[in-house]
Structure 1
Amino acid sequence: MTDRHAHVMTYTDADAVRLYERALDSLLFFRGEVAAEAAAVLDASPRSAMGNVLGAYLGLLGTEEKDAAEAATAFEAYRRAVDMADLGPRERMHVEAASRWLDGDMRHAGRVLGELVVACPRDALALAVGHQLDFFTGDAALLRDRIGGALSAWDTDDPHYGLLQGMYAFGLEESGHYTLAERVGLEAVERNARDVWGIHAVVHAYEMQGRYEDGIRYLDARTDDWSTGNYLNVHNWWHYALYVMETGRVDKVLAVYDAAVHHDGSAGAAMELLDAASLLWRLYLSDADTGDRWPALADAWARRNDGAYYAFNDVHAVMAYVGAGRTAEAGRLIRDREAWLRDTVAGRTGGSNAPMTAEIGLPVCRALVAYGQRRYADAVGLLLPLRRRLHTFGGSHAQRDALQKTLVEAALRAGHHDRARTLLSERVNLRPDCPYDANARARLAARRQIDEQSTHR
């Protein structure tokens, strides 16, 4: 059988192909049904190459260590049961990419998928998974060009074309093409009102330009399209809260946090918990009262009991522990990752997460602890050399801005006024209307005036 783009589907009967197409649609729209639909493909055709590949990818996309381990076990059993020579070239490349990622090598998996879409540019699964790999590894150029390099091979009336535009818009935004990102993202959402990744791309474009009121209006106008029924709704609520934070409404930020970002009914998924930690951390930097939310969030991270899997998640767990005043737990996580890294180096394992942890994750975790202990100069010393390399451990500019703001606040509180002025000058000239930057500059001016008065006494 073949899919609707004429790609070979080995060991996949007609019903399974139909179910696969449905699951692929759900994946592209971030619908919660995708897991059940992917399982249905394998119920119909247990040896389906693309069905098993899809299942493996789903176990990886959430950056959940336990899900990835289960996916690895299942995929290894599939590989033992099937002669790879029976698969088509495209399917074999998917198997290699999934295997590489399951082994922890995200960058190699992304390269394999990049080669795959040169030959098969209308493979929507390869493009979507590769796009997420570029996000997890913080590669802005590939976020843009992986999709941009395939778009011209697609008919504009293809049902998936608009969804690819949404991905492309996000890559454009992360690469600094904000005006074009907004236009392409808006076009994508006009094609598919519930393209939550496209909505997310537009939201990022507004965020990076400091257009907070525009962002609030856009999300308010489309609340029914993005706010429920998809895997990205918590993250887009997080964006909404970031906009509100710039208006100074801490009460409304906390209301969004309680209603949508983290509460007693939250699933405890890593991607949702890191949004919660990132949001509360921004309030922590402004000395806002967040009530008893930090202890509850720290408990949620502790219940996960994660091993060393993805350094980006580790950093946000440490934020939660520091915010809750539980620096001993933050220290234990750091020591655990240090020991894992020593074993990893000795055994030459660890995949992509080893350099992420060594070069970015651990220094950032130590900086967060230093900040929580009011060792602001130490926090500056740890973060300053990393500030232009933070992207190498994943996430978006908006997500990593919590760390950039930590550096600014640490410099202010350490009395490093010239450094703080330079950092704020960079920010202000990129986003002239950002209330946070204006507030920080005012605080810096006040502190400099106090220092000058003290000197003249």
Structure 2
Amino acid sequence: MTGASAAAVRHYDRAIDELLHFRAEVDAEANAALAESPDFPMGHVLSAYLGLLTTEAEDARTARARFGAFLRRTDGAALLPRERAHVAAVRALLGGDFLTCGTLLARITAEHPRDALALAAGHQIDFFTGDARMLRDRVGGALTAWHDDDPHFGHVLGMYAFGLEEAGHYDRSEEVGLRAVELNPRDVWGIHAVVHTYEMQGRFGDGLRYLDARTPHWSSGTFFNVHTWWHYCLYALETGDVPRVLAIYDAVLAAGQGCMELLDAAALLWRLHLEGSEQHERWRALADAWPERVAEPFYAFNDMHAVMSYVGAGRIGEAEKLVAGREAYVAEPHPGVTNHDMTLRVGLPVCRAIVAFGRGDYESVVELLLPIRHRVNEFGGSHAQRDAVQRTLLEAALRVGRADVARMLISERIGVRPCSPYNWLKQAALADALGDGAAAALARARAGELARAATA
């Protein structure tokens, strides 16, 4: 690395360690590195990634200004090849081109598989773009360059485990994720990968026990603990323990400030909303937190959760205003801006569907979501997060009497996760709608058996 004193390099190394642990101290260490060496190229690269990957528009503006000032006083030709490659990746990200940034980072990883920053930043890009194959293969392609005695080998395994899970390799994901946490019990991303695996398999009892056994390691001290509590709540919802879910919401999720935390809160309340549990005061506080964060188009996945919050709070007009703003946004060309295509292809149909659900227009919800249900990954997030969209489609189909669609969706869900009480309760609702009381009773009994078995 060029342009760095020994002290700056020490701060940089500590920043990478904090980043892989998802600890807030990463910002202080990155700033300290630049304080020691104001023109340290990789220090500026790290700082830019930190600002651009929060999905916060204000953070992105600050990162653009800071990185732009660095570029204006820097001779790019004097940088080392890998430094130039990182600068090019940051430039793409500054321009809103997530896909090109991800491609450029993949080239760095191919040449330098032990570049932890390239791996971590690329992994987040793949998450934000919903690219399950790259979530798996970006890290998988670097794995043999790492060894058991590397201090961050466990963190690399944790990233790989999450990629395996998103790509559907659940047995392997569990194995790799458990190994990552064995190497580093405070690897919250590794814990998160195991939790996702249990969620996808419907093993919510295993998930509760796994998180309970490790609560001190994941529940505080990182900027990821709120999200892990959200996963805990998903498991508790499967057991039907709504009071426990709301207690956790009030203690942890309600205090969230950033987009990532706000969307977790919205996604949880929306699941309750779909089941008829209205949380007016909680929705009102959440809806108040969104306007400044979605004042401009930046990340369509955030837009969806803002619309959920407005609809949940009964503020349909605000939801429609946000949708209209995004319609104006996609009507203008934005070459190379990934969010433009995300909004056009997925974000707007989903937001319109949520507004329609809030208005009770369930037929429109089905018409909007059914054609895109197999490509909602295109606007980012995980399978678990995007399940809110799938549940909205299913609930709308049930409410509007589209038994054909509801039967198909429920059959798919039970086939993949036969141990999910939610899936069996929806089977019961469908049977009720069809007038088959006996089938409904059997499905409800099955849901109850599964819930009791998991918490026994």
Which TM bucket (shorter chain)?
A: over 0.9
Q: CA deviation at 1:306?
A: 2.7
Q: State TM-score, norm by structure 1.
A: 0.94
**Any unmatched runs of 5+ in structure 2?**
438-456
Q: Within 2, Cα distance between the matches of 1:409 and 1:289?
A: 15
Q: CA deviation at 1:302?
A: 2.4
Q: 1:350 to 1:307 in 2, by over 3 A?
A: farther
Give secondary structure in 1 for the equivalent of 2:125.
helix
2:223 pairs with 1:231 = yes
Would you say the 8 A contact 1:254–1:290 is kept in 2?
A: no
CA root-mean-square deviation: 1.1
Q: Within 2, Cα distance between the matches of 1:332 and 1:276?
A: 22
Match of 2:446 in 1: none
Match of 1:436 in 2: 422
Q: How does 1:341-420 map to 2 (within 5 A)?
A: 341-343=330-332, 345=333, 348-349=334-335, 351-420=337-406
Which of 67, 70, 75 aligns to 1:75? It is 67
Q: CA deviation at 1:296?
A: 0.8
Match of 2:310 in 1: 321
Q: Within 1, Cα distance between the matches of 2:393 and 2:404?
A: 13
Which of 253, 261, 269 aligns to 1:272? It is 261
- In structure 2, give the amino acid aligned to 1:256: I
Would you say the 8 A contact 2:280–2:313 is kept in 1?
A: no
Structure 1: which 4+ aligned runs deviate by more than 3 Å?
Answer: none
Match of 1:92 in 2: 84
Q: Which moved more, 1:297-306 or 1:252-261?
A: 297-306
Match of 1:28 in 2: 20
Query: What are the superposed Cα offsets for residues 88-113 of structure 1, whole Å, 9 maximum, x if unpaired?
Result: 11111100101100110000000000
Match of 2:186 in 1: 194
Query: What are the superposed Cα offsets for residues 236-263 of structure 1, whole Å, 9 maximum, x if unpaired?
Result: 0000000000000111111111111113
- In structure 2, give the amino acid aligned to 1:225: H
Q: How does 1:2-401 map to 2 (within 5 A)?
A: 9-263=1-255, 266=256, 268-343=257-332, 345=333, 348-349=334-335, 351-401=337-387
Give secondary structure in 2 for the equivalent of 1:152.
helix
Identity %: 58
Would you say the 8 A contact 1:294–1:324 is kept in 2?
A: yes
**Any unmatched runs of 5+ in structure 1?**
1-8, 452-457
Query: What are the superposed Cα offsets for residues 50-86 of structure 1, whole Å, 9 maximum, x if unpaired?
Result: 0000000010121000100110011011011111111
Q: Within 2, Cα distance between the matches of 1:89 and 1:258?
A: 49
Q: State TM-score, norm by structure 2.
A: 0.95
- In structure 1, give the amino acid aligned to 2:111: A
Q: Within 1, Cα distance between the matches of 2:278 and 2:84?
A: 54
- In structure 2, give the amino acid aligned to 1:273: L
Q: CA deviation at 1:154?
A: 1.2
Q: CA deviation at 1:349?
A: 3.8
Query: What are the superposed Cα offsets for residues 2-61 of structure 1, whole Å, 9 maximum, x if unpaired?
Result: xxxxxxx11011111111000000000000111111000000111111000000001012
Q: Within 2, Cα distance between the matches of 1:30 and 1:54?
A: 14
Would you say the 8 A contact 1:10–1:88 is kept in 2?
A: yes
Q: Within 2, Cα distance between the matches of 1:203 and 1:388?
A: 23
Q: Within 1, Cα distance between the matches of 2:372 and 2:330?
A: 19
